[in-house]
Structure 1
Amino acid sequence: MTSDPKLVGLNALHERLHRVLPNVKLTCQPLPKTPQLKLWLLDELFPEQALEPGIVNAIMEEPPYWSFCWASGQVLAEFLIRNPEWVAGRCVVDVGPGSGVVAIAAALAGARKVIACDLDDDALTATRVNAEENGVQVVLSQDLDSALQEADLVTAADILYDRENLGLLARFQAAERVLLADSRVPDLNPPGYRLLGEWQSCTWPDLGESSEYNGVRLFAAQA
């Protein structure tokens, strides 16, 4: 048995994937917009043969969203790398990290400390594995309240697929700054936030989603 933490994490993630998709694997891939950042993501979406209904249902019930890099995460990660003044010397709390792309970009851009906060153990494992792959340190947390107490900047990308998370946007504003990226709510206009701009991106590996999900809007809030 290996004692390498990254390999242990990868084995755990593969075990999780193979419960529903026995023929897929993760590979380390550079991202299209930020090739200096590499993530362990699905090598291919699905096998060529049609999936059994039971497998489809299992995927819908527990989607391995951490095995993709979603459009908003890519845009926000690129924004931080191109604009390091947003994070330099600050404690960044990334909420709903998924693959960890935004948390890792914040660390690469010079954040003093990065906390990735999620209730999902697999997402935190993916974030840890990907942080190690990119040679940065990210603190993992399942306690949002404690993490927000340390935050100078809160980041979040594509967390509003669950509309129950809309209530988090007001909580985030306890921090000095907030950066929110979203591609799922076309009429989003959260109180206290201003629109910084809109970018085009897609999920990687490409899910072939409707083009309406390729437009990513980036919002900022500042105390």
Structure 2
Amino acid sequence: MEADPIAFVTDNTELAPVAFVPELRLRQAGEPIGLWELSEGEYHSEQPPPFWAFAWAGGQALARYLLDHPESVAGLRVLDVATGSGLVAIAAARSGAAHVRAVDIDPVAVAAVGCNAEANGVADRVEGAVEDVLDGDADGFDLVLAGDAFYSKAMSDRMTDFLRRAARHGARVLAGDPERKFLRRELFRLAAGYEVPVPKVLEGVRVRRTSIWELPGRTGQGERPGR
């Protein structure tokens, strides 16, 4: 990989509309670039997968939901976790969020977020950061977003614990998930559902049923006691 992550992103992608969210454009790779294998929804690779190079189904659905329901994000402080390309963060900004922090542990992903935010005219409201926030509680944010973040058991366990803490601290939590097997659906309530076009080379199908899930907050505000 090139030493300059922005150059790596621009050299290996093309700016193109997102299939299910054509209002937005992302720098996307035409084909997988051989960094990972897909096996029943769990990724196995010695190198981090280039999540930032594709518009994954969960992120597309969550972006669509935010653009169609701007009242759910307008004026809020938003945290987009495991942001990848920044698609969800950009949709939040375009829908009127006051400020969006888009975090990922991959520096190349954060470089892609910057490129994509600029391409969509929201660079002033989307802040990319190389950060692992999953041991925290999202203090200071009104809305926490997670698109397609339940692709392995280890990731799902950490993400779920984080999202539950965020909800208990008062943040609204929305997740987009295309029926990955590791999402603990019993903890969430269904907010919306979509049929999202996806690259067959990545998912094995051309369309994935993808749902928007909301995590109930404090006990007395929708969360089941004891959960």
TM range (shorter): 0.7 to 0.9
1:129 equivalent in alignment to 2:91:
no
1:122-160 residue CA offsets vs partner (Å, 9 max, x unmatched): 111111110011111311231516781121110001111
1:200 equivalent in alignment to 2:195:
yes
Aligned to 1:171: 162
Give aligned-pair identity as a percent.
33
Aligned to 2:177: 182
Aligned to 1:3: none
Aligned to 2:126: 138
Aligned to 1:221: 215
**What SS does the aligned partner of 1:149 have?**
coil
Aligned to 2:139: 149
1:45 equivalent in alignment to 2:41:
no
Q: Is the contact between residue 62 and residue 212 of structure 2 (CA under 8 Å) also seen in structure 1?
A: yes
1:107 equivalent in alignment to 2:93:
yes
Q: Is the contact between residue 94 and residue 154 of structure 1 (CA under 8 Å) also seen in structure 2?
A: yes
Instruction: Tell me the distance in 1 between the aligned counterparts of 2:81 and 2:36.
Output: 28
**What SS does the aligned partner of 1:151 have?**
coil
> Which of these residues, 90, 96, 100, is aligned with residue 82 of structure 2?
96
Look up the equivalent residue of 1:200 and give its one-letter code. Answer: E
- How many pairs align? 198
Question: Displacement, 1:163?
Answer: 1.4
Instruction: Tell me the distance in 1 between the aligned counterparts of 2:18 and 2:114.
Output: 17
Question: Displacement, 1:175?
Answer: 4.0
Structure having the higher helix fraction is 1
Residues 46 and 124 of structure 1: CA distance in aligned 2, closer, same or farther (over 3 Å): closer
Question: Displacement, 1:34?
Answer: 1.9
Give unpaired runs (5+ residues) of structure 2: 38-43, 218-227
Instruction: Tell me the distance in 2 between the aligned counterparts of 1:74 and 1:168.
Output: 19
Look up the equivalent residue of 2:17 and give its one-letter code. Answer: P
1:38-82 residue CA offsets vs partner (Å, 9 max, x unmatched): 11111x2169xxx8xxx778x943322211110111111011000
Structure having the higher strand fraction is 2
TM-score by length of 2: 0.76
Give unpaired runs (5+ residues) of structure 1: 1-7, 16-24
Instruction: Tell me the distance in 2 between the aligned counterparts of 1:122 and 1:106.
Output: 21
